[in-house]
Structure 1
Amino acid sequence: MSPKRAEQSPSGPGAVWLRERRQGTRTPALSIERITAAAVRILDEDGQSGLSMRKLADALGVHATSLYWHVANRDDLLDLALDAVFGEVEAPRKDPGLWQADIAAYMTGLREALLRHPWAGALASARPLMGPHALDHAESVQAALVRAGFSGTALTAAAAAISNYVIGSVAAEASWGRHDQSTARRALTDHVQSAALRYPTLAAHPPTPYSDWQTHFEHGMRFLIAGLTASAGTSG
């Protein structure tokens, strides 16, 4: 008899975290952990377009129907894989006097984890981050910001600014990494220079090459944390 399909309600992005986990299994060779690890490997090798239930089943050496005891659909696989990447990030130290250092360590660690998996940055910007690892980090980040004096709307906006900066910069870096950056950058510079009357500031201060993405990221991170430090405790 084929394994029963995982509970279908709720469904969609993030739904895997809202269903009750089945107790027991008719497919002892499989587990959520093994399925997740295989999904991450496929995504690393082939990107989002390369992940399917059938391809995952082939990689695990099982029939595709066996997967449905554990996961309902491809959305589940994406959410599980993305949260596994967040699981690679070390939690902040929670030092009451060093909240800025905690935030910087989290941002740096998240960037490194997402870059190890080039599909993850774009995926993180498009899906609810509801997995246990992602929520553990959200808890740590908000706790650091509360220690700094943030509350209310300012707290949620500050936390979002931190995650959005990392995820957005990684998504851009991963996307550019698939192309010849130098040619595109030269074309942009030449275009701006040829239209200097319309773009005088850009022409006078052309963009620096994005070959050193880490330096750009670290500058932006320092600017963001300096702004948070100046704003801490001033609004709710």
Structure 2
Amino acid sequence: MQTPEETPRMGRPRTPRLSRKTIGREALAMFEQEATLSMPRLAERLGVRQSSFYKHVTGRDDIIELARGSLADRVQVPASATGNLDELIRQIFEALRSAYSLAPALLPLLLTQPVSHPDALSLYNKFAGALTHAGVPEHLVIPTLETLDSAAIGASLDAMTMESAWNISEAQRTDFPHLSAAQQAVSTSQTDRFAFLADVLSAGLKAAITDNT
């Protein structure tokens, strides 16, 4: 007969089956692979009952924020702060755009709630520090981050849509001469629109800094 000390205990597992980080990672993977968030489907992907979520999260918005945190972990932070504002703006814009392009279905949901996940806040804190180091006045850091974030989200969504936003038939070209000429010009002189957008953002920020000093 086993003594009490020898009797195996059926205690709680040392590692919980679910965690907030695990839920966030799987939610992000679902947005990447299935372009949606379904609670029953997320539970199925995690191999748990849907009711198990609510021991770790408060609801759908909380899961979206956990997915944001997992996405923030995928953003490539600029390796060094050189102090060159043009380069930094391009790096931050491209880092955000590249990450956002992984899960475009998540992006409209991110716009409906403020950033609160610690990993996402840590990411933006690093960007804020780099911008301050590059000479951006503190009162312009948040507007800069908001503009870069919005531009990166827009660029990521734009890349998933049609090649051209204007559909002008041959018969209509005389009705819209300026737009038609511009459309033909861009087809013969290709421009990296993402690099162009980053340059415009950088130029605008430098002008704003000059006006505010």
Question: Is the contact made by 1:111 and 1:170 (CA closer than 8 Å) also made in structure 2?
Answer: yes
Sequence identity percentage:
26
The one-character-per-residue Cα deviations of 1:211-233 (angstroms, maximum 9, x if unpaired) are: x8x92111111121133234435
Distance 2:31 2:154 in 1: 19
Distance 1:103 1:25 in 2: 47
Query: 1:56 maps to what in 2?
Result: 42
- Runs of 5+ unmatched residues, structure 1: 1-23
Query: 1:187 maps to what in 2?
Result: 167
How much does 1:185 deviate? 5.3
Question: What is the identity, as a one-letter code, of the residue corresponding to 1:116?
Answer: L
Distance 2:91 2:166 in 1: 34
Distance 1:57 1:191 in 2: 54
Distance 1:137 1:192 in 2: 48
How much does 1:28 deviate? 1.8
Any residues of structure 2 matched to 1:114-129 within 5 Å, and which?
114-129=100-115
Any residues of structure 2 matched to 1:1-236 within 5 Å, and which?
28-48=16-36, 51-151=37-137, 153-174=139-160, 176=161, 181=162, 187-188=167-168, 190=170, 193-196=173-176, 200-206=177-183, 208=186, 215-235=192-212
How much does 1:84 deviate? 1.0
Question: What is the identity, as a one-letter code, of the residue corresponding to 1:33?
Answer: K
More off after superposition, 77-86 vs 101-110: 101-110
RMSD over aligned CA atoms reads: 3.0
Classify the secondary structure of the residue corresponding to 1:72: coil
Question: Aligned in 2, Cα 1:165/1:66: closer, same or farther, shift over 3 Å?
Answer: same
Question: Aligned in 2, Cα 1:188/1:35: closer, same or farther, shift over 3 Å?
Answer: same
Question: Aligned in 2, Cα 1:122/1:231: closer, same or farther, shift over 3 Å?
Answer: same
Question: Is the contact made by 1:44 and 1:119 (CA closer than 8 Å) also made in structure 2?
Answer: yes
Distance 1:191 1:235 in 2: 49
The one-character-per-residue Cα deviations of 1:124-164 (angstroms, maximum 9, x if unpaired) are: 33332222232223222222332333335433322222221
Question: Aligned in 2, Cα 1:155/1:31: closer, same or farther, shift over 3 Å?
Answer: closer
Which stretches of structure 1, 4 residues or more, deviate above 6 A after TM superposition? 24-27
Task: Give the TM-score, by structure 1 length.
Answer: 0.71
The one-character-per-residue Cα deviations of 1:156-209 (angstroms, maximum 9, x if unpaired) are: 3222222211111112223x0xxxx35x6573465862522xxx4213322746
